[in-house]
A = this chain, B = another copy of it.
Amino acid sequence: MQHHHASEALTKNQALVMGALSDADGPLSAYTILDRLRDDGLRAPLQVYRALDKLVEFGLVHRLESLNAFVACRHPGCDGHQFTAFMICDECGSVIEIADTALARRLTGLAQDASFILEKSTVELRGLCAACSAA
């Protein structure tokens, strides 16, 4: 790493993993990412997981808990990154990323009511996307 605050400057492995996720049009598991990057020199799961940890920390990637998979953030740099919600189509696997202020307020409100210090929220809606439910 050359810089202190230039978190945009990714290391080699981070850039590779970010590239794989950006190229994909849906979520990828860590092992799928690994498979796609074997030709680029990645050999072990840990190399992928370490890169993913950092990318999530940077706000460039989201982890989808209900899929054990990862997606590139659709609007990186956005605030409210920690309150992002997802709609995941069980039919086609597409993922829609949502940043909703009212939802975020309700979640923080619920936490406050319970004197709960909220660090991170996971909101994942499963069902059928518009395209698949029309078909």
Contact = CB atoms under 8 A, between A and B. Distances in A.
Interface of A: 65-66, 85, 87, 89-90, 96, 98, 100, 102-103, 106-107, 110-111, 114-130, 133-134
Number of copies of this kind of chain in the complex: 2
B110 A117 contact: no
B96 A100 contact: no
Nearest to A103: B106
Contacts of A128: 116-117, 119
B90 A119 contact: yes
Given A123-B121, A126-B122, A115 B103 contact: no
A111 B133 contact: no
Contacts of A85: 110
A123 to B, nearest CB: 5
A121 B127 CA distance: 9
Nearest to A96: B114
